[in-house]
Amino acid sequence: MPTPYSDKVFHTANIIEFAKDIEAATDGAFKITVHSAGSLYKHADIKNAVRSQQVPIGEFFLSRLSNEDAAYGVDSQPFVATSYADADKLWAAQKPVITELLAKQGLMPLFAVPWPPQGLYTKAEVNSVDDLRGLKFRAYNAALEKFAALAGAAPTQVESPDIPQAFSTGQVEAMITSPSTGVSSKSWDFVSTYTPINAWVPKNIVVVNKAAFDGLDASVQAAVLAAAEAAEARGWDLSRAETDAKTATLAENGMNVITPSAELMDGLKAIGAQMQVDWNESASDEAKAIISDYNK
Ligand code: PCA
């Protein structure tokens, strides 16, 4: 099972528990070997590795698939869902739509777990969108790349295991990510300010190849589904607990954690509103229905 993030990340810990649960439920008959941090397949290749049955199961960042269909990207649209309660509602609306899309590729979602709300990491205090102008900005998907570009920054895609090196070589000088990734990348080594703008709550998803799943004994299938349900619930709890705990770790390591100014938030929300207009133009009716269901 290839996964993109390191063993220090709660998503990976949760997946290791998931694998253990299945092994226990099958009396050791069914084992999943987790290959974390992009060590077996690079993040960008994990979905296709599962699709082509090079591996039966894998994890990836769901909104990376937004180039295939806008429905995959809703959780990374700025200021659509910014709390866990909203993220939960959004997932309920998104899940049936992406389940159908994935099924067309022979894939079946098992569970999805959010990262804590995404905040801003910079070397200096940021009080307005103008303060972001010209900054070399780390991005992890198309939506963040667009958000940074609309703010006047210069985005570059960098995988999370490569964050420390990207900062130390000067490739990037600011980023938006969770407090979890801020801690696992030891962000205090290269930036000094964390501004919790809580801009969106993106998810990782675990998918299985449907043909591989269908080939399992019914008892193993049941063990996998039960472990997946438990992993989704446990993952959301872990994520909620991480938000405050990892923000505190940032502060303990000397990061200046500052409340975003109204001017900054107004400016960022205006960019988010523009992005939502553009998203609507590229979205299918099914994708648009996610947002209308969510707003009900
Ligand atoms: N961490 C991952 C994705 C979102 C997050 O909080 C990253 O920075 O790549």
DSSP of 125-186: ---SGGGGTT-EEEESSHHHHHHHHHTT-EEEE--GGGHHHHHHTTS-SEEEE-HHHHHHTT
Q: Please give the model's pTM, rounded to 2 decimal places.
A: 0.98
Task: Say how far apart CA 121 and CA 173 lie, in whole Å.
Answer: 9
Mean per-residue pLDDT, 80-101 = 98
CA of 161 to the centre of ligand 1 (A): 10
CA of 175 to the centre of ligand 1 (A): 10
Q: Which of 137, 181, 191, 194 to mutate to test the pocket of ligand 1 (most atoms within 8 A of CB)?
A: 181
Q: Which of 9, 60, 160 to mutate to test the pocket of ligand 1 (most atoms within 8 A of CB)?
A: 160
pLDDT digits (tens, 9 = 90+) for 117-161: 999 999 999 999 999 999 999 999 999 999 999 999 999 999 999
User: Which residue, judged by its Cα, is nearest atom 6 of ligand 1?
Assistant: 178
Task: Say how far apart CA 103 and CA 110 lie, in whole Å.
Answer: 12
Ligand 1 pocket check for 177: Cβ under 6 Å: yes
Domain 10-115+202-252 CATH class label: alpha beta
pLDDT digits (tens, 9 = 90+) for 161-218: 999 999 999 999 999 999 999 999 999 999 999 999 999 999 999 999 999 999 999 9
Q: What is the largest CA-CA distance in the chain?
A: 59
pLDDT digits (tens, 9 = 90+) for 47-83: 999 999 999 999 999 999 999 999 999 999 999 999 9
Tokens read off for 234? 């446990």
Domain ranges of the chain: 10-115+202-252, 119-198+257-295
- CB of 248 closer than 8 Å to CB of 35: no
Is 10-115+202-252's fold the same as 119-198+257-295's?
yes
Is the CATH number of domain 119-198+257-295 3.40.190.150?
no
